[in-house]
């Protein structure tokens, strides 16, 4: 008996030992990033390095903030990720409702085709979409007289430059292709399928239409799943790099990650500023995650239950 007790003790110790070691190791890059971001440039290269800086140079953050138009980057990222998220939640919840509840012609075949599209590499669709965004305004110019070419005008909203209405290097190009998601549709459908149908029967007797059921029964009951999808989308959009990189050319239209990359190009050895800039980018992600952690975990699980 005593032996068994000892081995239980040993396994528990072993378990925590591994968990703590792995946890600390995984945190080191972040701690090092914070540490470097608060040093002045001369102590960045001091040997042996100090983990806690002698003096905290908070001014690095201000310097990084002013080096590139970070504020503009923040605004762009907020506009793009919020619009994308709202759009994805609307389009995919509508489609998911149809796939989960309505009985229309070829439903399951269409759904399977949706799933299969997840295998198509993003690289494949990006090339023609980019080409179209670049070419469509030019083609329109050939078709219409110069007076009616409103798509070539720069737009301002309350004095704030919002780019061109169409074509590359615009909010249109950053947002529209991202408004639709097969993954989100799939995830929400899985969740809707698990909502008991009895609830809808009652509303049907009360004379609720399909829209009424979607709006007043399904959506309110699916708040956790919708929140999970929204969390995924907003964070994914905040981090997304390749598409914003391709479609933006002017500094005013760049989102935060692309701007950070441009920042790296000009301050390639000033590690304290680069780390401060990186911190500025991931800080909102960490905040969102801390508040939405519950939805995150649930969402991942919904998405994977027996495809």
- Quick one: which segment of 63-71, 98-106, 198-206, 220-228 binds another protein (CB under 8 A)? 98-106
**For residues 61 and 276, is the Cβ–Cβ distance under 8 A?**
yes
**For residues 186 and 303, is the Cβ–Cβ distance under 8 A?**
yes
Give, as ranges, the residues between 172 and 191 that touch another protein (CB under 8 A). Answer: 176-177, 179-180, 182, 185
Q: Which of 210, 219, 221, 227 binds another protein (CB under 8 A)?
A: 210
Residue 161 three-state SS: strand
**For residues 288 and 102, is the Cβ–Cβ distance under 8 A?**
no
Give, as ranges, the residues between 78 and 97 that touch another protein (CB under 8 A). Answer: 90-92, 94-95, 97
Could you say whether residue 43 binds another protein (CB under 8 A)?
Answer: no
Task: Give me the least distance between CB of 161 and another protein, in Å please.
Answer: 24
Could you say whether residue 234 binds another protein (CB under 8 A)?
Answer: no
Could you say whether residue 207 binds another protein (CB under 8 A)?
Answer: no
Could you say whether residue 218 binds another protein (CB under 8 A)?
Answer: no
C-beta closer to another protein: residue 164 or 273: 273
What x/- string results for residues 9 through 38 when contact with another protein is judged by CB under 8 A? ------xx-xx--xx--xxxxx-xx--x--
Could you say whether residue 54 binds another protein (CB under 8 A)?
Answer: no
Could you say whether residue 119 binds another protein (CB under 8 A)?
Answer: yes
Question: Could you tell me if residue 164 is left (phi over 0), alpha (psi between -120 and 50 degrees) or otherwise beta?
Answer: beta
C-beta closer to another protein: residue 157 or 290: 290
Which neighbouring-strand residues pair with 160? 157
Q: Which of 240, 236, 254 is nearest to 263 (CA)?
A: 254
* CA 204 from centre of chain: 37
Could you say whether residue 158 binds another protein (CB under 8 A)?
Answer: no
CA dist 104 and 161 (Å) reads 45
Q: Which of 41, 49, 56, 156 binds another protein (CB under 8 A)?
A: 49
Please give the full DSSP string across 45-66, using - where no structure is assigned. Answer: T-SS--SS-SS--THHHHHHHH
In this structure, the number of other CB atoms found within 10 A of the CB of residue 227 comes to: 17
Could you say whether residue 264 binds another protein (CB under 8 A)?
Answer: yes
């Amino acid at each position: 008996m005593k032996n068994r007790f000892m081995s239980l003790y040993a396994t528990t110790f072993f378990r925590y030992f591994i968990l703590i070691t792995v946890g600390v190791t995984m945190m080191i890059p972040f701690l090092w990033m914070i540490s470097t971001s608060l040093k002045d440039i001369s102590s960045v290269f001091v040997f042996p390095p100090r983990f806690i800086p002698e003096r905290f140079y908070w001014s690095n953050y201000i310097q990084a903030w002013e080096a590139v138009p970070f504020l503009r980057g923040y605004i762009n990222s907020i506009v793009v990720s919020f619009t994308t998220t709202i759009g994805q939640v609307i389009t995919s919840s509508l489609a998911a409702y149809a796939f989960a509840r309505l009985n229309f012609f070829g439903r399951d075949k269409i759904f399977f085709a949706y799933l299969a599209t997840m295998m198509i590499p993003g690289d494949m669709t990006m090339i023609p979409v980019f080409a179209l965004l670049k070419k469509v305004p030019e083609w329109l110019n050939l078709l219409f007289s110069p007076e009616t070419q409103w798509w070539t005008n720069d737009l301002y909203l309350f004095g704030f430059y919002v780019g061109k209405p169409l074509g590359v290097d615009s909010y249109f190009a950053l947002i529209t292709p991202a408004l639709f998601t097969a993954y989100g549709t799939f995830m929400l459908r899985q969740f809707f399928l698990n909502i008991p149908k009895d609830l809808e029967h009652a509303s049907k007797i009360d004379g609720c239409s399909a829209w009424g059921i979607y709006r007043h029964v399904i959506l309110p009951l699916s708040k956790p799943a919708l929140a999970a999808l929204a969390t995924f989308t907003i964070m994914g959009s905040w981090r997304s790099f390749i598409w914003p990189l391709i479609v933006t050319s002017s500094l005013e239209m760049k989102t935060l990650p692309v701007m950070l990359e441009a920042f790296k190009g000009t301050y390639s050895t000033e590690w304290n500023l680069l780390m401060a800039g990186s911190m500025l980018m991931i800080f909102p992600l960490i905040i969102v995650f801390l508040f939405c952690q519950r939805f995150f975990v649930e969402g991942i699980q919904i998405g994977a239950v027996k495809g």
